[in-house]
Structure formats: C-alpha cells, structure tokens
C-alpha cells in the first residue's frame, strides 16, 4: 500500500517552518471540511488525513522521526492518526476562514510561482535481507534523479516562456458554486501559479527535466522495519536555482525462513519431543545474537510460549530491545518398532488408572445420556 506523504498532503516543502505548515493546514482543512463537502466520503477521509499530517508536522519530535523513518517510524510513539490535533486557535481559524471565504471574504490570491515542473523529493524502494534490517548494514543505492532541462529551465515550456493560465486567467484560483455559497479552489491546470506552458519544450518534450543516474553508499541503522522510510538529505531532484530535495528510501524487508518479526519482538517455533516435555529439562536454542538455554518444565503444554526479554531487535528509536518469544511444538513418533511399543505399553501400565482418564469421565457421561432416554 502506497504511503501518502504528509508534506504532499499539506502541499508544503520539507524545509517549511511552523508558520507555513500551519497556514497550509488551515487552507487544506477549510477546503476539505465535511461542512463544505456534505456527503463526500473522499473529502471526509482527506480531511482526516490532513489533520493527521498536521499533528505530526507541527510537533518537532514527531516531525524529526517522520522525516527520517516515515509513518512506520511513529508507531509506538503515541501516533494513532486520523484525529484532530490542532488547538482551539487552529480550529477557530479554520471555521473563520471557511465561512469568511464562503461569503466572499478571506481572498488569499495566487501561490508563489514554482518555475519548474517536478517535485524535488524522490522516493525509491530499498530491499533488505532480514539480518540487514535487524543489525543494520552499509548499502549501495542506485537510482535516478531529475535536473532541470537547460532549454526550458525546468518549466516544460518552449524557450522557458510561460503564458497566463487560460483556465483561471492568471488568478491561480477557480470558483465553484454550491447552493448560495461560492468557494475558491486552487486552479487544477497551473497549480495556483497563474501561469502555464503555451507550447511544450522540444528538448525535454514538456517534462521540464533530464534524468541522471547516480549511486552512493548509505548506512542503514540497526532495527529498521518493513515499511519505514529513511531520509537521505540533498540526494533528491535538483531545481533550476540549484536547490536540491531529499531522497527517501522506502524499506522492504525479506522474510526469514525461521524468525518472525513483529515490531521489535522476534518469534519462532521450537520442536520438542514428547519425552522432553514429560521429563522436563534444558535444551540449547538459537537466538539472534547466539545460543540461549531454554528450560522446559515438566508437563509443558503444546504451543506454550517462553519469553527472553532483551533478546529481540534493538529499537530504531532508541527505546531498548524487544523480546525473543519461543513457542514449543510437541512432536510425537510417527512409527514405533516392537521394542518401543513394549516399553510404552509397560510405561502406560505403570501409571494404572491415571493413564486412562477417559474411562472415569466417559462413565459419568454414559450415565447422563442414559437418563435422557429413561
């Protein structure tokens, strides 16, 4: 499932300050507020996502974690998502701007014009083996980034010349009427800049960029998990003015044949012969970092779990280590030779009535069923 970028939701850049983020949040919340979009489920979900994005990007600590590891890095950090987190000032401002704009006030004009035709941030998938994710590694990254077309300077327009947008007449906004109310929306053609290409650049065929292949090595931190994102600063696309975006590595971890990971805990199944359970004892088992000793009590149950605290994965957020949870699976012999059969029969006889718990239990049940029909 593709993760929606919080910055893209609010239509702000990574370097935006709190004031810019707050302003963008108000505009987007007003645009997708349920009261302005009655019965529109898509707008309602968008509104929730915008609130979730603002909850993270307005908090310095959460924003720092998100910038480095993405949404998955916020798990276990108090982030639940979907709820409104802005203060009453934010909520009041949203309603004030929403209804002010609805009746003709609160005009915000056009957005600051972006002269290039592509995003600066880049996201690529990086595949890791199970052990690489658990213990960290140094990984070679091969990818492509965009740089502005020299002919059109990133605009995608012939000779770099932009014309007044014919959809919004250069205003950067279009207006929609709903009942007796009129709402302003960002122009879908020019993205709010008020300008668009009249003719496409022949060099880049209107894309506004050239692609460059590159490679470098990066340290993958210990404890990353599937779905997390790692930010590599200044490795993204390059704007015409030389500013550069970030590269985001979307982590994909290959499953292990034995160990199963859940957050920072590790699970696996240990096969135990039935005599070991009957007699109890100790066995040596593999851990992530070496051998461990598992004490099996007499009478242990099938699927019973044993926990080794601190033997799991180191938290990528620095909160210690998870646990190793071993679940036993009792196994029985598939076939018996004559000697083994005789030994087991003698063992069963030695327990007497204790080896036949079903007889006493069934005797009571037989009596009960008999009374039903008497």
- In angstroms, the CA 141 to CA 215 distance is 5
Q: 137: annotated binding-site residue?
A: no
3-state SS of 81-103? CCCCCCCHHHHHHHHHHHHHHHC
DSSP code for 306: E
DSSP 343-355: HHHHHHHHTGGGG
Q: Which residues contact 118 (CB under 8 A, 6 or more apart)?
A: 146, 154, 207, 208, 209, 237
Please give the C-alpha separations between residue 224 and each of 67, 261, 282, in angstroms, as whole numbers. Answer: 14, 11, 33
- In angstroms, the CA 144 to CA 213 distance is 4
Coil/strand/helix, residue 139: strand
On whether the CB atoms of residues 311 and 216 are closer than 8 A, the answer is no
On whether the CB atoms of residues 294 and 306 are closer than 8 A, the answer is yes
- In angstroms, the CA 253 to CA 183 distance is 46
- In angstroms, the CA 197 to CA 275 distance is 79
Q: Which residues contact 39 (CB under 8 A, 6 or more apart)?
A: none
On whether the CB atoms of residues 260 and 270 are closer than 8 A, the answer is no
Q: 190: annotated binding-site residue?
A: yes
In a 10 Å sphere around its CB, with 0-12 CB exposed, 13-18 middle and 19+ buried, how is residue 24 labelled?
A: buried
In a 10 Å sphere around its CB, with 0-12 CB exposed, 13-18 middle and 19+ buried, how is residue 338 labelled?
A: exposed
Longest dimension (CA), the chain: 102
> DSSP H helical segments within the chain, as ranges?
6-10, 18-32, 41-57, 60-69, 88-102, 130-135, 274-279, 338-350, 357-372
β-bridge mates for residue 292, sequence order = 285
Residues that constitute the known binding site for Zn(2+): 149, 152, 165, 168, 187, 190, 201, 204
Residues that constitute the known binding site: 149, 152, 165, 168, 187, 190, 201, 204
């Amino acid at each position: 499932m593709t993760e929606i970028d919080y910055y893209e939701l609010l239509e702000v850049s990574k370097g935006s300050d709190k004031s810019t983020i707050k302003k963008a949040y108000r505009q987007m919340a007003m645009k997708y507020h349920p009261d302005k979009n009655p019965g529109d489920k898509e707008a309602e979900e968008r509104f929730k996502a915008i609130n979730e994005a603002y909850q993270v990007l307005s908090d310095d600590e959460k924003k720092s974690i998100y910038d480095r590891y993405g949404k998955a890095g916020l798990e276990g950090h108090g982030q639940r998502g979907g709820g409104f987190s802005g203060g009453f000032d934010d909520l009041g401002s949203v309603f004030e701007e929403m209804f002010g704009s609805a009746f003709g006030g609160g005009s915000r004009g056009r957005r600051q014009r972006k002269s290039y035709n592509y995003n600066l941030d880049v996201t690529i998938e990086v595949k890791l083996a199970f052990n690489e994710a658990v213990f960290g590694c140094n990984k070679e990254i091969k990818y492509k980034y965009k740089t502005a077309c020299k002919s059109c300077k990133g605009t995608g327009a012939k000779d770099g010349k932009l014309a007044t947008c014919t959809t919004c007449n250069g205003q950067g906004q279009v207006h929609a009427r709903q009942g007796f109310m009129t709402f302003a929306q960002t122009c879908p053609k020019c993205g709010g800049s008020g300008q668009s290409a009249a003719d496409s650049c022949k060099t880049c065929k209107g894309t506004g960029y050239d692609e460059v292949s590159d490679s470098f090595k990066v340290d993958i931190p210990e404890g990353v998990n599937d779905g997390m994102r790692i930010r590599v600063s200044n490795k993204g696309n390059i704007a015409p003015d030389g500013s550069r975006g970030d590269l985001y590595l979307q982590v994909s971890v290959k499953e292990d044949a034995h160990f199963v990971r859940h957050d920072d805990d590790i699970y696996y199944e240990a096969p135990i012969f039935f005599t070991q359970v009957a007699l109890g004892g100790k066995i040596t088992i593999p851990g992530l970092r070496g051998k461990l000793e598992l004490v099996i009590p007499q009478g242990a149950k099938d699927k019973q779990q044993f926990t080794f605290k601190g033997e799991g994965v180191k938290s990528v957020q620095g909160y210690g280590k998870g646990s190793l949870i071993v679940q036993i699976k009792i196994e029985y012999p598939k076939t018996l030779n004559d000697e083994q059969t005789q030994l087991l029969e003698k063992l069963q006889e030695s327990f007497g009535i204790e080896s036949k718990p079903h007889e006493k239990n069934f005797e009571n049940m037989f009596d009960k069923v008999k009374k039903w029909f008497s």
